[in-house]
Homo-oligomer: A and B are copies of this chain.
Amino acid sequence: MELRLGTKASLSKTVTDKDVRMFAEVSLDYNPLHLDDEVAKKSIFGRRIAHGDISLGLISAVLGNYMPGRGTIYLGQDIKFVAPVFIDDTITAEAEIVEIIPEKNRYRIRTDVKNQAGVLVATGFALVKYQAA
């Protein structure tokens, strides 16, 4: 893939109950908003939501596997979680190169995550290092 300003890639996945339970085990984040139907029902969301960091994981998957691709080193990320992701939502992480810093092999990449209705759920920018093999 040619890496120019405006180059884009995306990746979608359906966030299952199993994903949320595995992520809880990996992260130790057992917040009942993610895991307990009764607690979540009484929250402002009305039902269980996925961990925000699952959206970030999908962003890292786009960066590390597609664009820039294998060998990408993830240097940083800022992210705003702007809407909830519910269990069984299908989310799409979109990445677009917005700045290239050639002398450092660095790329600044806009990273947006949307749900199946096209609603933005997370938005921010990643900074990565990548040197073509």
Give A residues with C-beta under 8 Å from B. 11, 13, 19, 22-23, 25-33, 39, 43-44, 51-54, 56-58, 60-61, 64-65, 70-81, 124
Q: Are A13 and B31 in contact (CB under 8 A)?
A: no
In contact, B75 and A81 (Cβ under 8 angstroms): yes
> A26 with B52: in contact, given A32-B70, A80-B75 (CB under 8 Å)?
no
Q: B13, A57: Cβ atoms under 8 Å?
A: no
State the Cβ distance, A52 to closest chain B Cβ, in Å. 5
Least CB separation from A45: chain B residue: B73
Interface centre among A28, A39, A70 (most CB of B within 10 A): A28
Verify B29–A64 contact, CB threshold 8 A.
yes
Q: Is the CB of A53 within 8 A of B57?
A: yes
With A22-B25, A65-B29 already in contact, the answer to whether A53 and B56 are too (CB < 8 A) is yes
Q: A64-B33, A71-B33 are in contact. Are A27 and B78 (CB under 8 A)?
A: no
Q: How many Å lie between the Cα of A75 and that of B83 in the bound state?
A: 9
Q: Which residue of B lies closest to A12 (CB)?
A: B28
- In the assembled complex, the CB of A66 is this many whole angstroms from the nearest CB of chain B, namely 10
Q: Are B27 and A54 in contact (CB under 8 A)?
A: yes
